[in-house]
Amino acid sequence: MSRARAWTLVSIILAIALANACSATRVRTLEEFDEVVLLSEDNALVNFHRPGCPHCAALAPHWSALEADFHARGTGVTIVDVDCEESREVCARFGVRAVPTVRFFTAENGEFGDEYGRGRELTYDALATFCEHRLERVT
């Protein structure tokens, strides 16, 4: 096993262990979304998902690890969850047709953010790289 892969696995395990102390911000209404994502000074990485979705379930441990890692490092990125079953208005506003849909929001990229477009490669490494590239653009 390569060092990079071993480090990734250790990071995921530690992040899952810390998940109870650090959890993504849940958004249920349009007003909450505006407050937490669009009007915030922080950047936001948002996961639009549905219960029972197998791809969403596969993403869950990676999402928790990403949230714990970004929180621990103080990246200035708020990790946000939007359940499209309980927050239909929010998902409709952003045109979410397939789940999971992941978007990165900054003050610079407009109301709809940058959509993660790497198909179903929903791993910690792929999402962290996506987010870090977006951070490089705004700093």
Which of 56, 84, 91, 131 is labelled catalytic? 56
Which of 22, 53, 91, 131 is labelled catalytic? 53
Question: Is CATH 3.40.50.970 what the domain over 3-138 is classified as, yes or no?
Answer: no
Within the chain, what is the greatest distance between any pair of CA atoms?
A: 46
List Cα–Cα distances, 8 to 3, 51, 63, 125, in angstroms.
8, 26, 13, 8
Tokens 């007003």 belong to residue: 31
How much is the average pLDDT of 32-37?
95
DSSP string, 106-125: -SSS-TT-EEP-STT---HH
Give the span between the Cα atoms of 32 and 89, in whole angstroms. Answer: 12
pLDDT band at residue 50 using 50, 70 and 90 as cut-offs:
very high
The one-letter code for the residue type at 6 is: A
83 strand-pairing partners: 49
**Segments making up each domain of the chain, as ranges:** 3-138
User: Is-catalytic flag, 131?
Assistant: no
pTM (predicted TM-score): 0.81
User: Cis link prior to 100 (omega < 30° from 0)?
Assistant: yes
User: Measuring CA to CA, which residue among 135, 102, 12, 120 is closest to residue 66?
Assistant: 12
pLDDT, tens digit, 9 for 90 and up, residues 61-102: 999 999 999 999 988 899 999 999 999 999 999 999 999 999
